[in-house]
Amino acid sequence: MEQTDTIARDTARATETRKVFVKTYGCQMNVYDSQRMSDALAADGYEPTQTIEDADLVLLNTCHIREKAAEKVYSELGRIRDLKNERAAEGRQMVIGVTGCVAQAEGDEILRRAPAVDLVVGPQTYHRLPAVVRRARAGEKVIETDYAREDKFDHLPQPDRKIVRARGVTAFLTVQEGCDKFCTFCVVPYTRGSEISRPVAQIVREAERLVEGGVREITLLGQNVNAWHGEGVAKGGSTREWGLGELLFRLAQIPGLARLRYTTSHPRDMDDALIAAHRDLEQLMPYLHLPVQSGSDRILKAMNRKHTADDYLRLVDRIRGVRGDIAMSGDFIVGFPGETDEDFEATMKLVREVDYAQAFSFKYSARPGTPGAEMKFHVEERVKDERLQELQALLTNQLEAFTQSRVGMEMDTLIEKPGRRDGQIVGRSPWLQPVILDETVGRIGDIVRVKVLSAGRNSLFAEPV
Ligand code: 5AD
Ligand code: SF4
| 218-235 exposure pattern, b = at least 16 Cβ within 10 A, e = fewer | bbbbbbbbbbbbbebeee
Residues 6+ apart with CB under 8 A from 216: 169, 170, 256, 257, 258, 259, 414, 445, 447
Indicate which ligand has the atom closest to the C-alpha of 191.
2
Provide the pLDDT for residue 150. Answer: 76
Provide the pLDDT for residue 157. Answer: 84
Identify which of 360, 363, 362, 361 has the alpha carbon closest to the alpha carbon of residue 381. 363
Using CB distances shorter than 6 Å, the residues near ligand 1 are 65-66, 185-186, 291, 293, 331, 333, 362, 364-365, 367
Identify which of 417, 453, 464 has the alpha carbon closest to the alpha carbon of residue 166. 417
Indicate which ligand has the atom closest to the C-alpha of 27.
1
Amino acid at 165: R
Q: Is 192 in the pocket of ligand 2 (CB under 6 A)?
A: no
| pLDDT, tens digit only, all 465 positions of the chain | 334 444 444 444 445 789 999 999 999 999 999 999 999 999 889 999 999 999 999 999 999 999 988 899 999 999 999 999 999 999 999 999 999 999 999 999 999 999 999 999 999 899 999 999 999 999 999 999 987 777 888 888 888 888 888 899 999 999 999 999 999 999 999 998 999 999 999 999 999 999 999 999 999 999 999 999 999 988 788 899 999 999 999 999 999 999 999 999 999 999 999 999 999 999 999 999 999 999 999 999 999 999 999 999 999 999 999 999 999 999 999 999 999 999 999 999 999 999 999 999 999 999 999 999 999 999 999 999 999 999 999 999 999 999 999 999 999 999 999 999 999 999 999 999 999 999 999 999 999 999 999 999 999 999 999
Indicate which ligand has the atom closest to the C-alpha of 182.
2
Q: Residue 129 phi/psi, 5° resolution?
A: -55, -45
Provide the pLDDT for residue 160. Answer: 83
Residue 169 and residue 416 in contact, taking contact as beta carbons nearer than 8 Å: yes
Provide the pLDDT for residue 5. Answer: 44
- Nearest atom within ligand 2 for CA of residue 223: 6
Q: Residue 90 phi/psi, 5° resolution?
A: -90, 5
Degrees to nearest 5, angle at CA 61 with 81 and 30 = 165
Ligand 1 centroid – CA 181 distance (Å): 13
Residue 338 and residue 375 in contact, taking contact as beta carbons nearer than 8 Å: yes
Residue 259 and residue 273 in contact, taking contact as beta carbons nearer than 8 Å: no
Give the residue ranges of DSSP H helices in 258-339: 272-280, 297-302, 309-322
- Nearest atom within ligand 1 for CA of residue 332: 17
Ligand 1 centroid – CA 78 distance (Å): 26
**Euclidean distance between CA atoms 373 and 66, whole angstroms:** 12
Provide the pLDDT for residue 359. Answer: 97
Residue 139 exposed, middle or buried by CB count within 10 Å (0-12, 13-18, 19+): exposed
**Euclidean distance between CA atoms 456 and 462, whole angstroms:** 11
Q: Is 266 in the pocket of ligand 2 (CB under 6 A)?
A: yes
Degrees to nearest 5, angle at CA 123 with 194 and 32 = 105
Provide the pLDDT for residue 69. Answer: 85
Provide the pLDDT for residue 322. Answer: 97
Q: How far is CA 446 from the centre of its chain?
A: 24
Ligand 1 centroid – CA 362 distance (Å): 7
Q: How far is CA 74 from CA 30, 87, 120, in A?
A: 18, 20, 13
Provide the pLDDT for residue 289. Answer: 98
**Euclidean distance between CA atoms 253 and 260, whole angstroms:** 11
Q: Is 330 in the pocket of ligand 2 (CB under 6 A)?
A: no
- Nearest atom within ligand 1 for CA of residue 370: 10
Strand partners, 328: 288
Identify which of 116, 118, 111 has the alpha carbon closest to the alpha carbon of residue 133. 118
Protein residue whose Cα sits closest to atom 13 of ligand 1? 331
Q: DSSP for 162-230, please give it.
A: HHHHHT-SEEEEE-EE--S---TT--HHHHT-S-EE--HHHHHHHHHHHHHTT--EEEEE-TTGGG-EE
